[in-house]
């Protein structure tokens, strides 16, 4: 079983994915970390040196491999859904959860993070709004479930996701406690 997270950069894919994996006793992998290991440098460095298109080629190869072979929880990069082949592979090979975050919430979380190449611009808030507008339909098309992140705690979001997975039959439902027997 593979549970795959998609969403904007900073929507919580890695944080929530890691917690969910821990709760379910599954392995966790972040596709960006696999990409960096393969590249031998940070995504930011590769992006600056080789450009976005070359980065997306490497990302596509890594996502193809992970969606075929990783059994557990997978956090993808924010742009993983930009290519149709990635959307198809993720949707067909795993159970995809879109962590839907408003651009304002993302900005609040990542405004000091200099490791996000797409946000190193003069107006990161405008950039996040543009990313949300263009990517939200792609995330929705890829996902089996949409979870609005808003302001709930990580633990609350993980509980919501587990409940969605149980309701959809992806996880066995927790057994209910037997009703107390009436005295006869």
CA–CA gap between residue 80 and residue 36 (Å, rounded): 15
Q: Using CB atoms within 10 A of its CB, is residue 150 exposed (0-12), middle (13-18) or buried (19+)?
A: exposed
Residue with tokens 């709760």: 23
174 is in an annotated binding site: no
134 is in an annotated binding site: no
15 marked ligand binding residue: yes
Q: Is 17 annotated among the ligand-binding residues?
A: no
Q: Is 135 annotated as a binding residue?
A: yes
Beta strands in 31-80 (DSSP E): 73-75
Distance CA 178, CA 57 (A): 53
DSSP, collapsed to helix, strand or coil, labels residue 170 as coil
Binding residue per annotation — 10?
A: yes
Q: Is 14 marked as binding a ligand?
A: yes
Q: Is 116 annotated as a binding residue?
A: yes
Report residue 141 CA to chain centroid gap. Answer: 14
Binding site listing: 10-15, 32, 56, 78, 116, 135
Question: Annotated binding site for Mg(2+), which residues?
Answer: 14
Binding site for substrate: what residues are annotated? 32, 56, 78, 135
- Residues placed in the known binding site for ATP: 10-15, 116
């Amino acid at each position: 079983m593979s549970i795959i997270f998609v969403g904007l950069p900073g929507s919580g894919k890695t944080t929530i994915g890691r917690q969910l994996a821990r709760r379910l006793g599954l392995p966790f992998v972040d596709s960006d970390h696999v990409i960096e290991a393969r590249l031998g440098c940070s995504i930011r460095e590769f992006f600056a040196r080789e450009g976005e298109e070359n980065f997306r080629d490497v990302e596509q190869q890594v996502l193809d491999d992970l969606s075929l072979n990783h059994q557990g929880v997978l956090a993808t990069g924010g742009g993983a859904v930009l290519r149709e082949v990635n959307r198809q592979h993720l949707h067909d090979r795993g159970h995809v959860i879109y962590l839907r975050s408003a651009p304002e919430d993302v900005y609040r979380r990542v405004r000091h993070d200099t490791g996000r190449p797409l946000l190193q611009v003069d107006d990161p808030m405008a950039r996040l709004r543009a990313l949300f507008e263009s990517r939200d339909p792609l995330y929705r098309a890829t996902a089996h479930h949409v979870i609005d992140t808003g302001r709930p705690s990580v633990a609350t979001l993980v509980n919501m996701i587990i409940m969605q997975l149980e309701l959809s039959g992806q996880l066995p439902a927790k057994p209910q406690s037997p009703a107390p027997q009436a005295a006869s």
